[in-house]
Amino acid sequence: MSVALGLTRPLVVRTTLVGDPGDLFAQLPETAPYAWIRHGEGLVAWGEAARVTVPPGPGRFDWARDWLSTIFGEASVDDDVRTPGSGPVAFGSFTFDPESRGSVLVVPQTILARRDGRAWLTTIGEERLDLVTPLRDPGRIRYGDGSLTAPEWEHAVARAVRRIRSGRLEKTVLARDLTATAERTIDVRLLLTRLARRYPDCYTFSCAGLIGATPELLVRHTGEMIESLVLAGTTPRGTSRADDMARGAALFASAKDRYEHTCAVESVREALSPLCSELKIPEEPELLMLPNVQHLASPVTGRLSAGASVLDVVAAMHPTAAVGGTPTEAALDVIRELEGMDRAGYAGPVGWIDARGDGEWGIALRCAQIEGPRARLFAGCGIMGDSDPASELAEAQAKLRVMQYALEG
């Protein structure tokens, strides 16, 4: 094995069926856990058998695929389970902007997984018996402005609206960040537990300090089949069932939100059509209700026409119009000009891939980057020609409350 890959010998991988482990998060040690969980099923992991920082640039997904192909191809694998997520698995987080540094792939040393009534354990090398300690509360949280204050961000939205009305583009997405400082080191496991309990319909994830619960499935790849969930168009939840229904009806009837959703759907159609022999996209969106917001949602399914890996599909789809804008390059130019920050992993692809090329990747939304007692929280909004800066700020604040809840309980 090439020393350049960070290994002196091939990985030795063993996957076996195990009894139901119960709460997967309860099995995690405190140090640098990895996770991808929805409705109590998925993968958790810890330790690092291999890790690499992916070089920035337009070819980063090809570079990542080649690195994984070498790592997985030379591994000695004994897999009794033979299902998506068994055998060696890499967790990954890619920055939103291809030119930003910080994209990472990690092959954990220990992976515990459960799906469809089966549970399995994957170990690489010697089995790690890390001590599982009680969850620790971070104490009092102090918040501060991120790259822009609220009024500055509203001004950025107004400038973006003027760009759109001038005809330069149809839509862009502007993100906000917020800083948080805790009294004590933040226990990622506590955040994951709170997020999974509060937002079971979302994908609760942890990779290289990026923690969140995203409602948006970028792609699930199982054999030849792929699935995606397009979200664009948002309104806060109501204060009663009647208010909820009224807000949902207004969202469904909103020309601005429906057009925003159409842009997102068409960007996915354009990305997936060359890769798929079959592609099914509903003619009308549906309403997805989460504890804090409602979204317009369109589930997408397809059959790949060639043996592409999940990373190939991720490369084709990112960035979608839901997190970038339309047309893509013009929207990205506006983002770089007006946001005043590097998004890092926010709104970038996050998820996992196995040696067969199967995997699940989401868009890193409703998330925070955690480092010791500090966190950087993110939220973004789709900006159209008729967007109101104050309304967009309220939407961003509603989305930021996801991670504020995780921090505060």
Strand-pair partners of 289:
294
Please, how many CA atoms are within 13 Å of residue 136, restricted to the half-sphere of its CB?
A: 15
Verify cis geometry, omega within 30 degrees of 0, for the bond prior to 327.
Answer: yes
Q: Which residues contact 30 (CB under 8 A, 6 or more apart)?
A: 133, 136, 187, 188, 189
Answer yes or no: are the C-beta atoms of 396 and 372 closer than 8 Å: no
* Residues β-bridged to residue 107: 50
Angle at the Cα of 209 from the Cα atoms of 364 and 176, rounded to 5 degrees = 50
**Strand-pair partners of 360:** 220, 352
- The C-alpha atoms of residue 383 and residue 381 are separated, in whole angstroms, by 6
Cβ(251)–Cβ(258) below 8 Å: no
Is the CB of residue 342 less than 8 Å from the CB of residue 97? yes
Where in the sequence numbering do the catalytic residues fall? 171, 216
